[in-house]
Amino acid sequence: MLYWTFILWFLQIPKFVSAIMTVNISKCYYKTTEDFHHEGDVMIGAFFPIHTYYSAKKIPHPFLPYYYLDNHIQYNFKNYQYILALLFAIEEINGNPNILPNISLGFDFYNVRFTEKDTLMNAFNWFTNRRKKKILPNYNCNKKKFSAALTGTSWTTSAQISTLFQLFKFPQLSYGPYDPILSDRSQYFSLYQMAPKYTSLSHGIVSLMVHFRWSWVGLILPDDHKGNKILPEIKEDMQRKGVCIAFVKMIPATWTSHFSKFWENMDEVNVIIIYGDIDSLEILMRNIGQRLLTLKVWVLNIEPHVTDYADYFLLDSFHGSLIFTHHYRKNFEFTNFIQTVNPYKYPEDIYLPKLWHLFFKCSFSDIDCQLLANCQANASLDVLPCHIFDIAISEESKTIYNAVYALAHSLHVMSIQQIQIQPHENGDVLVFSPWQVITILNTFLKEIDERDNMSLDWRQKLNAEYDILNLWNLPKGLGLKVKIGSFSANTAQHQQLSLSEEMIQWPEGFLDIPQSVCSESCKPGFRKIILEGKAICCYNCTPCAEDEISNETDVDQCVKCPESHYSNTEKNHCFQKTVIFLAYEDPLGMTLACIALCLSALTAFVIGIFVKYRDTPIVKANNRALSYTLLITLTFCFLCSLNFIGQPNLTTCILQQTTFGVAFTMALATVLAKAITVVIAFRATFPGRMVRWLMMSRVPNYIIPICTLIQLLLCGIWMAISPPFIDNDVHTEHGYIIIFCNKGSSFAFHCVLGYLCSLAFGGYTMAFLSRNLPGTFNESKFLSFSMLVFFCVWVTFLSVYHSTKGKFMVAMEVFAILASSSALLGFIFGPKCYIILIRPDRNSFHHIRDKTHSRRNKTYVM
């Protein structure tokens, strides 16, 4: 699309150049006057900048015929709207019988050339009414009465004229932007600023930066009191909203070659804010246009005449710019009025003939330089391109319109007061003294409402509504300003800025919303790390920590997921954790459960063998009652491990530790009783009543209930003080919540284990002492070895237990229970089952006698 547009535009250049060269500008065009007069009973002085004089060294550009008409003059026809706004307001007032009846308003126009000498000279000319004649201060050679002067757009122009006007206490209305210096009543007591004092513009600009995530922007301000005042305000707003200023450029009052460094660092950003008034920005705009800085989004606070300089370039530096303008209702009456304006209707106007001669091919009479009527059909200002003349009312024009009405109402009040005091006769025009006008204006500007129902008191209208315009100037010369949004500080904060992004045309080179950042945005899952010594907008990105997320870009801190959730690998979402435990369906839980059941079945099988062969020597020799007790207890030891498998509840949590502690206590107490029984049995052959009494009274059998009662007491205290409870572990395994039984009192748990170890140590000691005692079926060695294995298992368990988390900790305890129980079963009853089942020949009294006899013979030989 851009390619074909460029081709079509390029093909039109020869025709365009030919038309330019054939323009025949009459010599009458160069007879330019500085002022003109519009008749009225009471005159208003209008000081507007319409054209500027350049030095003779200024070389005209061949493609700028509408503006550089000779080597000296440049016209700005857009400002001609100021004259039309003044004329429109005066005609409305003169046609209104309710305002200043029988008194007509008129005006004297003087061009402002931005030189103090010419400005003051024009002011003297208006005071004395002696145009281009010798000035006579304090004298007025005309019977017309003056009411007030309209000055602007530059604050310097208003200040210069005010130094003269306030000497005579003459009222002056400024239609330029509000300036805090001009509000100093002690210095400018006769000057009134009609533009409201807006305080929300910086908020609107910063809100736009935040909306588009432009955090690294440039700022260009005029190097004067207004620029120095707005700079801290914008900086404060930007700092509060997290927007950083890459550079601040101050526009010099005098542009020289020294300021070539002004354009340095421009490439650091894609968005640049330009704040100032039309006068302070004029040279800057020309320089930007000449440099073709097309890869920049310019954010402006005014509507500069950026399209006035239409040349043969297709691209424009300001295409895609965003402009903040004060919101006004459309004045359709003013638009209709512009359509009726022509040089024949207002012959005194010096600019209308020039416009009609240039754009509608009207010719001048060679005799008196009067404009002839041989113009194009339908000649009207509303058909001119926007970059030449814009029919939409500008802010300055609206202010001029309001100022004329304010002045008219003030004069009307004065006329009523004078008529009440002394009615005038013979139709004489009322005399309005300057100091009376100042007094009435001061009162009126505080009380009167204008037609738009908005207060004329600028101090009451602090927050205005702004329209945000998008400049469409491709191809160059199109000059459309399209409203794409608005900003109003009077609404809720989240509703202040309203934009239609789909309507925005960005500068050439940007296919999407331009980015202007110091660092690339931190994507979701990352957070910012501010670099030391850098602006807050310059940062690095680092991933969020474990179980923390960020689901937005450029976050300062990651958000921690709830304990019941976990973060995904991208760290941008929290997901619900899965509840797990050592379940029967789990491979580990299923394996341990099967082992426990198998070992329980094996223990039951051993019990059956011992019951079946209960009358054999090996079963009788090892105390059948204790063997049955130990086997039954081991069965419960194997089965108690099942309490640790499955979803925990309060009952299973309590049964886990109590059944484990009591079952193992009975088993170890039985082993201790068996070891003591062996020692007593072999000591019974020695003389002594004590040993014989121990054997006869079966004291070893009381060891089991006594030891068990002690363990029950410990468990009872444990359950009473700090019983086990259901707990969960959300940190051990990523994405899972592990449910397990918390031991409650860790001290009580270790006391139970310590007590079991003391029993095991006692059994090991007794078995070790009886290891060398004679006897065919002496099981002391097996008892001592089983206790040794028991020690190894639980000592290893304690060290691993404290370094294991989650369901593996539970599995480790189950494994310790099964391993220690298996050691008791295997080392104590394994050899006996081997003899009973595999070597029954060794399980007979004949074999015992032969073995005993051979041992005695061996002893005698030795």
Query: pLDDT digits over 411-470, tens only?
Result: 888 888 777 666 555 545 555 666 666 677 666 655 543 433 334 443 344 456 889 999
Residue 449 bridge partners (DSSP) = 455
Predicted local confidence at residue 192, as pLDDT: 85
Of 535, 553, 576, the last residue of a domain is 576
**Same domain, yes or no: 389 and 339:** yes
**Same domain, yes or no: 339 and 311:** no
Which residues are CB-contacts of 3 (< 8 A; sequence separation ≥ 6)? Answer: none
Lowest mean pLDDT among 9-13, 42-46, 425-429: 9-13
Predicted local confidence at residue 527, as pLDDT: 92
In the 3-class helix/strand/coil scheme, how is 280-328 assigned residue by residue?
HHHHHHHHHHHHCCCCCEEEECCCCCCCCCCCCCCCCCCCCCEEEEECC
Predicted confidence (pLDDT) at residue 341 exceeds the cutoff of 90: yes
Cα–Cα distance list, 246 to 215, 293, 510 (Å): 9, 18, 21
pLDDT tens-digit series, residues 274-293:
988 777 787 788 788 777 78
User: pLDDT tier at 15 (50, 70, 90 boundaries)?
Assistant: very low
Predicted local confidence at residue 857, as pLDDT: 46
Predicted local confidence at residue 206, as pLDDT: 92
Q: What is the mean pLDDT of residues 601-611?
A: 90
Lowest mean pLDDT among 460-469, 507-516, 597-606: 460-469
142 within domain boundaries: yes
Give the number of C-alpha atoms closer than 13 A to the C-alpha of residue 351, restricted to the C-beta side. Answer: 25
pLDDT tens-digit series, residues 815-860:
888 988 888 888 888 888 888 888 877 766 555 555 555 544 443 3
User: pLDDT tier at 546 (50, 70, 90 boundaries)?
Assistant: confident
Cα–Cα distance list, 93 to 87, 405, 411, 524 (Å): 10, 8, 12, 63
**Same domain, yes or no: 829 and 796:** yes
Of 541, 576, 611, the last residue of a domain is 576
**Same domain, yes or no: 48 and 190:** yes
Q: How much is the mean pLDDT over the chain? A: 78
Predicted local confidence at residue 123, as pLDDT: 81
Predicted local confidence at residue 32, as pLDDT: 64
Predicted local confidence at residue 457, as pLDDT: 42
**Same domain, yes or no: 187 and 208:** no
Into how many domains does the chain fold? 4
Lowest mean pLDDT among 157-161, 207-211, 308-312, 566-570: 308-312
Amino acid at 137: P
For β-strands 105-111 and 271-274, DSSP reports them as unpaired
Predicted confidence (pLDDT) at residue 620 exceeds the cutoff of 80: no
Question: Which is more confident, 214 or 189?
Answer: 214
pTM, full prediction:
0.64
Q: What is the mean pLDDT of residues 131-147?
A: 62
Q: What is the mean pLDDT of residues 132-141?
A: 61
Question: Smallest Cα–Cα separation from 460: which of 471, 470, 449, 469?
Answer: 449
**Same domain, yes or no: 691 and 830:** yes
- Helix/strand/coil percent split, the chain, to 5: 45, 15, 40
Predicted local confidence at residue 11, as pLDDT: 41
Q: What is the mean pLDDT of residues 69-83?
A: 74
Predicted confidence (pLDDT) at residue 157 exceeds the cutoff of 50: yes
Cα–Cα distance list, 802 to 41, 594, 743, 795, 806 (Å): 106, 26, 13, 12, 11
223 within domain boundaries: yes
Predicted local confidence at residue 208, as pLDDT: 93
pLDDT tens-digit series, residues 678-735:
777 665 554 455 545 555 456 667 888 888 899 899 888 998 888 888 888 887 777 8
Q: Which domain holds residue 774?
A: 587-861
User: pLDDT tier at 410 (50, 70, 90 boundaries)?
Assistant: confident
pLDDT tens-digit series, residues 167-205:
877 888 898 888 888 888 788 888 888 887 767 788 899
98 within domain boundaries: yes
673 within domain boundaries: yes
Of 557, 576, 595, the last residue of a domain is 576
457 within domain boundaries: no
Sheet holding 271-274, edge to edge: 244-251, 216-222, 271-274, 297-300, 322-326, 465-472, 480-488, 497-499
**Same domain, yes or no: 260 and 272:** yes
Answer yes or no: are the C-beta atoms of 45 and 149 closer than 8 Å: yes
Answer yes or no: are the C-beta atoms of 319 and 506 closer than 8 Å: no
What angle do helix axes 80-94 and 395-421 make, rounded to 10 degrees?
Answer: 30
User: pLDDT tier at 131 (50, 70, 90 boundaries)?
Assistant: low
The DSSP secondary-structure symbol of 189 reads T
Predicted local confidence at residue 270, as pLDDT: 92
Query: What is the share, in percent, of the chain residues with pLDDT greater than 70?
Result: 79
Predicted local confidence at residue 256, as pLDDT: 64
Lowest mean pLDDT among 254-258, 399-403, 639-643, 730-734: 254-258
Query: What is the share, in percent, of the chain residues with pLDDT greater than 90?
Result: 14
Predicted local confidence at residue 594, as pLDDT: 93
- Determine the Cα–Cα distance for residues 214 and 244; give it in Å rounded to an integer: 9
- Determine the Cα–Cα distance for residues 579 and 582; give it in Å rounded to an integer: 11
Predicted local confidence at residue 421, as pLDDT: 64
374 within domain boundaries: yes
Predicted local confidence at residue 298, as pLDDT: 93
233 within domain boundaries: yes
CATH value at residue 826: 1.20.1070.10
Predicted local confidence at residue 484, as pLDDT: 93
- Determine the Cα–Cα distance for residues 386 and 829; give it in Å rounded to an integer: 110
**Same domain, yes or no: 481 and 419:** no
653 within domain boundaries: yes
Lowest mean pLDDT among 343-357, 483-497, 840-854: 840-854
**Same domain, yes or no: 564 and 597:** no
**Same domain, yes or no: 567 and 596:** no
Q: What is the mean pLDDT of residues 42-69?
A: 59
Question: Smallest Cα–Cα separation from 448: which of 187, 194, 702?
Answer: 194
Predicted local confidence at residue 276, as pLDDT: 84
**Same domain, yes or no: 538 and 637:** no
**Same domain, yes or no: 630 and 753:** yes
First to last CA, the chain: 121
CATH value at residue 93: 3.40.50.2300
- Determine the Cα–Cα distance for residues 149 and 47; give it in Å rounded to an integer: 8
Cα–Cα distance list, 310 to 291, 470, 597 (Å): 14, 18, 96
Predicted local confidence at residue 94, as pLDDT: 94
Burial of 682 (0-12, 13-18, 19+ CB in 10 A): middle
CB atoms inside a 10 Å sphere around CB 829? 25
